Homo-oligomer: A and B are copies of this chain.
Amino acid sequence: METLKTHVVHGGTLRYLKHDSPTTGTPMTLSVFVPPGEGPFPVLIWLSGLTCTEDNFTTKAGAYAAAAEHGIIVVAPDTSPRGEGVADDDAWDLGQGAGFYVDATEAPWAKHFRMESYLTGELIALVDAAFPTTKVRGISGHSMGGHGALTLALNHPELFQSVSAFAPIASPTRCPWGEKALGAYLGDDQRAWARHDAARLIEAGTAHGVYDEILIDQGDADPFLAEQLKPELLVEAAKASGQKITLRMQPGYDHSYFFMASFIADHVAFHARRLKG
C-alpha cells in the first residue's frame, strides 16, 4: 500500500492509502487511523454511503477521539472502484460511488464492481498485514454503508465480532435505491438479491447467536427514512428470529454527517466493548 498523506490526529496516526486491487482490477483508496499507545489493536471497518469516498467519514465524522480513547484502529475504504476505464452511470445512486458492497454479476459492472470480495477477501488481510491489529474486528457504516455493514457481518460471521449501523438501507429488495442497484448489479432474478438484504437475512436467522446485539441509530427527521431506509423491517425481522437489535430513533436528526458525528462515540464504545473483551 502506498501512503498518500499522513496526519497526526487525537494522538494517533491517520493515513490515506492507495493500492492496486487484484479483486477490482483498479487502484483502491482508503484511510486507516491507528490510535496512540502500544498495539496490537482491534479494527473497526467503516463503510460509507452513496456518493462518498474514504474522505467523507475521515474528515467529517469525528470518530478518532473515541477511537484514540478506546484503542481502536479505524479503516474507511472507498465505496466503489473508480477510474476512467470503470463502468459508471449518470445517476448518483449507481456505479462509481455506489458499489452497494456486492459482487456484480451483470455487464458492464461485473468486471470491476466486486466490493464484497474486495472487502472480505482482500482488504481485511491487507490491513492485518500492514498494521498492528489483533485480527479481531467490527464493522459499521452509514446508509448504503449501513446495509453493507449488516449484510457483510451476517454473511461473514467468521470475520467480525461486532456490527452496528447508522441509518442503514434495511431491506434493499424493498426500496427504490436497492431495487435499482441490485437489479443492475445482480440481474432481474431476485433470488440472487436475498443475501444482500439485512432484514431478510436476520429474518432467516443468518448468523444467529454470533452477534449479541446490533446497534442501529436512525434520525427521525431523515428524509430517506420512510421510502428507502425502513428500519422497522429490521426490528420485525429480529423479533421473528430472536436476534437482539437496539434501534435508537434520534429525534430531529437527519441523514447528514452531523448525525453520525453526534453518535459515533457511542458506536466506537459499543464495538470496543465487544472487540477488547
Contacts and interface: CB of A to CB of B under 8 A. Distances in A.
Contact of A258 (B9, B251, B262): B9
B62 A257 contact: no
A257 B8 CA distance: 10
A253 interface: yes
Tell me whether chain A's interface is mostly helix, strand or loop, or mixed.
Answer: mixed
A110 interface: no
A109 interface: no
A16 to B, nearest CB: 11
A198 interface: no
Contacts of A169: none
A7 B62 contact: no
Contacts of A221: 8
Interface residues of A, number: 25
Interface string A50-61: 000000000110
A261 B8 contact: no
Given A14-B258, A65-B262, 6 more contacts: A8-B250, A8-B254, A8-B259, A9-B261, A9-B262, A59-B257
Interface of A: 7-11, 14, 59-60, 62, 64-65, 219, 221, 250-254, 256-259, 261-262, 265
